[in-house]
Structure 1
Amino acid sequence: MSDTAQRDELKRLAAEQAVDLVRPGMVVGLGVGSTAIHAIRRIGALLASGDLHDIVGVPCALRVEEEARRLGIPLTTLEDPAQIDLTIDGADEVDPQLNLIKGGGAALLREKIVAQSSLREVIIVDEAKLSPQLGTRFFVPVEVVPFGWSAQARWITTLGAEVRLRRQADGAPLITDQGNYLLDCHFGPINDLETLAVQLSVRAGVVEHGLFLGMATDLIVAGADGIRHIQK
């Protein structure tokens, strides 16, 4: 088995362990990414076999919604349930305190709304996503309105980042599900996460940022030595 195939198999096993936490009657947040998709497919398979029933999902992206419908997973929105019982999602980088960087899949706004509405936020990653300090291995995605986006990019540069507008393969700006742009902000290791999060949050034109601080309750890691489940 190739290294890529082995990593994917470990992701699948980690996703299955996360799905084991799902119980009948739950509202389940459905996350985005190459690891989270394994969880969605597992939920669909369990529903089809009758081993899981009476759950509804809240998708974090339009493409996740499409896949969930294809798999026969009943869906709802945040306008209906008061809260989400459990969300299963991935991350781009995770520090020892279970703080996260998310947004590599261009769905950070919906992912954060769902995370903040969840009683339990279960993050599944492969061990390559673990980091001693956020910003070491991944940039911070920042979602901005298209109007004045270059002004936001220049301002974020003054905070110490190298900023790039995320583009599609044809060179056009990538458009999020909410019709916004994404700025990929390379800060390097971030010493003060809370201060940076506040600075980004209060800036007009910034819709949301990819720092998910204090939201994860569980981390399931797929690694060479197997699957680890870490609880906060």
Structure 2
Amino acid sequence: MDRDDAKRRAAASAVEAVEDGTVVGLGSGSTAAHAVRELGERVDAGLDVRGVPTSFQSREIAREAGIPLADLDEASVDIAIDGADQVADGDLVKGGGGAHAREKIVDAAADRLLIVIDPTKEADVLDHPIPVEVLPDARTTVAESVRELGGEPELRWAENKSGPVVTDNGNLLLDCDFGAVEDPAGLAADIAGLPGVVEHGLFVGVADEVHRGDEDGVTVRRL
């Protein structure tokens, strides 16, 4: 299976739900980027929409695609289309691109959240390391608290520069491995309550549909 083709199919399927006059939350990551570009093609063909980007990346892709942009303080989001690092029973792990704080704000504000994935993102139980955005001064104390919760935190280092990854918000990222997460809602609440945590990558109970592209087409699961 060509994963990129599967991502494109999932993205195109989700974009079909966008109608004239819609305000669309523009997700981040490789699959969501396909959705933004697909939406741009439809805007070029006459579709009247506005987009609310979730990251610097999605803002730049939307500008290149010719999608008019809006901010959350001036528009209510009708539909958000976003990707995921892992999906299990409708719950998600996001944040591989470090944009999960803004993504969670936009996705939670949307009337409908459509998740676009390829089959490699599905799992029976969430076990992907959970990105946790932390204030720089709180990196050590949050890491200690994550260990107390049973996780193994690792500071995310940049690949093409010296030093750690810095988010669009100017913070650091801890990728926290908890193994199989049997209680996503409970763990989400525990991490959110740690002083110094800006946001974490567990998205529990927010998705309305999952569009999974594969070699045969697209499967849509409504939650």
TM-score normalised per structure 2 = 0.97
Selected match of 1:215 from 196, 206, 218: 206
* 1:10 match: 6
- Give yes or no for the alignment of 1:75 onto 2:69: yes
TM-score normalised per structure 1 = 0.93
Hey, what's the Cα distance between the residues in 1 that align with 2:37 and 2:178? 35
3-state secondary structure, aligned to 1:216: coil
Hey, what's the Cα distance between the residues in 1 that align with 2:186 and 2:205? 14
3-state secondary structure, aligned to 2:110: coil
**1:84-141 deviation line (CA, Å, top 9, x unaligned):** 1000000001002x00000001100000000110000000000111011111xx1100
Deviation at 1:194, TM superposition (A): 1.6
* 1:134 match: 126
Selected match of 1:156 from 146, 157, 171: 146
Report percent identity of matched pairs. Answer: 43
Selected match of 1:175 from 158, 166, 169: 166
**1:21-68 deviation line (CA, Å, top 9, x unaligned):** 000001000001111111111111111122x12x10000001211111
Change (3 A) 1:224 1:70: closer
* 1:102 match: 94
The within-5 A match list for 1:111-122 is 111-122=103-114
- Give yes or no for the alignment of 1:89 onto 2:82: yes
Hey, what's the Cα distance between the residues in 2 that align with 1:118 and 1:141? 22
Report if aligned partners of 2:7, 2:34 keep a CA contact under 8 Å in 1.
yes
Q: Which runs of 4+ in 1 moved over 2 A?
A: 223-226
* 2:19 match: 23
Deviation at 1:74, TM superposition (A): 0.2
Report if aligned partners of 2:9, 2:214 keep a CA contact under 8 Å in 1.
no
Hey, what's the Cα distance between the residues in 2 that align with 1:199 and 1:49? 46
- The alignment covers a number of residue pairs equal to 222
Where does structure 2 lack aligned partners over 5 or more consecutive residues?
none
The Cα RMSD (Å) is 1.0
The one-letter code of the counterpart of 2:67 is I
The one-letter code of the counterpart of 1:154 is E
